[in-house]
Structure 1
Amino acid sequence: MQDTEKQMENEQPIHVDGETAAVATEPTPEDKLAAAELKAAELQDAFLRAKADAENVRRRAQEDIGRAHKFAIEGFAESLLAVKDSLEMALKIETPSVEALKEGVDMTLKQLSSAFEKNKLLEINPQAGDKLDPMKHQAISTVPAEQEANTVVAVLQKGYTISDRLLRPALVTVAQAK
């Protein structure tokens, strides 16, 4: 009983609307510990959930990348099927004329060019007199010419870019310094 009396002496009465209400007691260390443990458990649970969510996002992204790699060439391959079909039909003709073969090859080249364009595979075909661009051209040799030094004289092989990335440089001969 003495403990209760001492506790009541330490407690401050709370006044509500002019009346004295129940006395608020300060939380004990045990209460504080229990509250901290509860908060720690909640934070641990939130952390584990966030970690699991992040792992799921990472796994899904990795699967998406795998699918993208697997099927990235699908559109390009699909556009090349018409080219293959045209070539096979040309080989089935028993007695082709030169004109028919030329017309067939021209149509097949147009199909191939269309497939390249559709899939952002673009030609690098510099013109004579263009300045040598080492990022797009590979100089095979230098030749005496009546034009400015380090300019393209002739294209030996076209180059190609795919989605603005160099796939193969154009092989060129370049004018040498006079």
Structure 2
Amino acid sequence: MTDETTDTQADDLREQTAEAAPEVAEHDRLAELEQQLAEAKQATLYAQADLQNYRRRAEKEAADARQYAATSFARDILSVADNLQRGLAAIPAELREDEKMKGLVAGLEATGREIESVFTRHGITKIAALGEVLDPNKHQAMLEVPSDVPAGTIVQEMQAGYMIKDRLLRPALVGVARAG
């Protein structure tokens, strides 16, 4: 082979490479753009999922806020209801029969019934305690009492407990049967 043939072949190879180079560069650029598009689609899907999750959380928090908005107020009113019940329980039977006191007693009892009615309307319910097995999610044991019933059974209620819808508002303060 002569130098002239070698130069011609080299020129031909350069021409072919130069002609193919834009296609290779364009193919690489196209592959890169497709990858960027796929990444952008994936990022968009993640962003949409995050937004949907945020909306769900916000809706649940708003619903909980509406449903349980009266919680702190209800806790405060419970002490008023407790005091009313204690006052009614402290009235001796002879005063209940006295004509001068009958109206007062009847008014206090009506007030107690109205408080219970308001509690019911707002989803506030009294927790059953006496005779139940101690449930630490609803009851707070204050003392143990010797008893014939099985250990852990509630035999005394010192203060009523309340739930607001499905949440504990205040645990019942109770005495439970002692083991052995």
TM-score between the two structures when normalised by the length of structure 1 = 0.55
Indicate yes or no: 2:150 matched with 1:148. Answer: yes
Residue in structure 2 matched with residue 87 of structure 1 by the alignment: none
Counterpart of 1:115?
A: 122
Give the match for residue 126 of structure 1: 129
Worse-superposed segment, 55-64 or 101-110: 55-64
Give the equivalent residue in structure 2 for 1:41: 33
Output the amino acid matched with 1:127. L
Structure 1 unpaired stretches of 5+: 8-26, 85-96
Q: Which structure shows the higher strand fraction?
A: 1
Question: Offset at 1:142?
Answer: 0.7
Q: What percentage of residue pairs aligned between the two structures are identical?
A: 26
Letter in 2 for 1:170: A
1:53-68 matches, within 5 Å, as 53-59=45-51, 61-62=53-54, 65-66=57-58, 68=60
Q: Letter of the 1:115 partner, please give it.
A: H
Give the one of 170, 173, 176 matched to 1:174: 176
Are the aligned partners of 1:122 and 1:160 in contact in 2 as well (CA < 8 Å)? Answer: yes
Equivalent residue for 2:159, pick from 140, 157, 161: 157
Q: CA RMSD in A?
A: 3.7
Report the equivalent of 2:113. 106
C-alpha contact 2:119 2:125 (8 A) present in aligned 1: no
Shift of 1:34: 1.4
Normalised to the residue count of structure 2, the TM-score between the two structures is 0.54
